[in-house]
Amino acid sequence: MPTGFISIGSNIDKETHIPSSLNALCKLFGELKVSSIFESEPVGFIGDSFYNLVVRFESELSAKEVAKLLKQIELEHGRARESQKFSARTLDLDLILYDDQIISDGRLQIPRDEIERYAFVLEPLAEIAPNETHPISKHSYKDLWQNFDKRNLHQTKLKKPSL
């Protein structure tokens, strides 16, 4: 069964939207492996801090079908369809990996380049999948995190959410 990873973020009513999104994902995919929550400053705009985490799941659905379900969960949590890339949001769910698939199909990009660009994606991914490897670079997520430039890192590990 294919294994996928979803990056989750929220900076509007995050104490409500993060647990609610995890419940919705459990209903869709069953058991999840969940990283700790990391609090980080917003990127590209001034606003409230984000809670970010990554979950691992298994599904027989295609990557495109999973991405469509994630967009629906975002809408159910008050996400505006026309929201800008760098803006406050109730919920952001991104399918960042799906097995070793490499997909470039319009808005669906797997693996997401955010994995190697942003600590708020890479650190929680490295926490729950340290020995798995990036499908393009072939480096483990643990190695990618160890080599990540942390000089200007403004991120705090909080706790693991309860399901």
The rounded percent of the chain whose pLDDT value lies above 90 is: 72
Give 160's pLDDT tier (boundaries 50, 70, 90). confident
pLDDT of residue 90: 87
Q: Alpha carbon of 55 to those of 5, 21, 31, 151: distances in Å?
A: 6, 11, 10, 26
**Stronger pLDDT, 163 or 55, i.e. the higher one:** 55
pLDDT of residue 85: 61
Give 79's pLDDT tier (boundaries 50, 70, 90). low
Q: Exposed (0-12), middle (13-18) or buried (19+): which is 23, by Cβ within 10 Å?
A: exposed
